Amino acid sequence: MKCIECGNEFEGRDSKFCSKSCYKKNWKKKNRERIKQQDKIYSMKNKEKRKIYLKNNKVRIKEVNKLYRAKNREKISKLKKDYAIRNAEQLRPFQKVHYKKMEEFRRNNPEAKKKFYATQKVRRFFIKYNPNIKLTCSICNIEQNIIKHHPDYDKPLEIILLCGNCHQRLHNKIITPNKLEIINLEEYRR
């Protein structure tokens, strides 16, 4: 007998196919449309289930993501940098629009303008003078993710060194700013 699918001759069977694989190929060809519809239905069910799961477990998912980001901070920052390098041409138009919006916001908002100039002044100071300041959080003494916080934007060279978590707690008014050590950068000029 000849196999319907592959055309090879075979003996000793009552079937039209020489093997199970030929039978499966033929069955898939005949039922391709039905399989596609089943796949669509299955994927729709999964999407609906996923939406429901995400809706019901927002807090849990946030906590898991926060833990993952804390453990893999270097990996995530490397991935972001790689993505920015690979997609620089696509990102430039968005960056230009963002920069224009920020400039316009600073022009119209005097408080934002003060904040921007204060951060720029501190950044330039650290580049120009490179002061021997140990960059550690003044609350928890961590050396990672240090932010230079300005208690008063009118005095841009007076800063408080805080880690990201303590900085957030300060802005959420969990920590009081009057007990923190203020560093005056004027003293570090050469």
**pLDDT > 90: percent of the chain:** 22
DSSP letters along 70-100, please?
HHTHHHHHHHHHHHHHHTHHHHHHHHHHHHH
Cα four-point dihedral sign 50, 53, 58, 62:
negative
Q: Which residues, at least 6 apart from 3, have a Cβ–Cβ distance to it below 8 Å?
A: 9, 10, 16, 17, 18, 19, 22
CB-count burial class (<10 Å; 0-12, 13-18, 19+) for 188:
middle
- Would you list the domain boundaries of the chain? 21-56, 87-188
Best-predicted range by mean pLDDT (29-33, 71-75, 141-145): 71-75
**Residue of higher predicted confidence among 78 and 7:** 78
Count Cβ atoms below 10 Å from residue 170 Cβ, excluding itself. 19
Residues 144-160 have pLDDT tens digits of 888 999 988 999 999 99
DSSP code of 60? H
Residue-averaged pLDDT of the chain: 85
Lowest mean pLDDT among 39-43, 67-71, 152-156, 183-187: 39-43
Whether residue 160 contacts residue 122, with contact meaning beta carbons closer than 8 Å, is answered with: no
Whether 82 has a pLDDT exceeding 90, the answer reads yes
Q: Edge-to-edge strand order for the sheet containing 158-163?
A: 146-149, 158-163, 183-184
CB of 22 within 8 A of CB of 34? no
The token pair at 104 is 């316009």
pLDDT at 130: 82
pLDDT digits (tens, 9 = 90+) for 89-141: 988 888 889 889 888 988 899 888 999 999 999 999 988 888 888 888 888 88
At residue 48, does pLDDT exceed 80?
yes
Is-above-0.75 flag for pTM?
Answer: no
- What would you measure as the largest C-alpha separation in the chain, in angstroms? 98
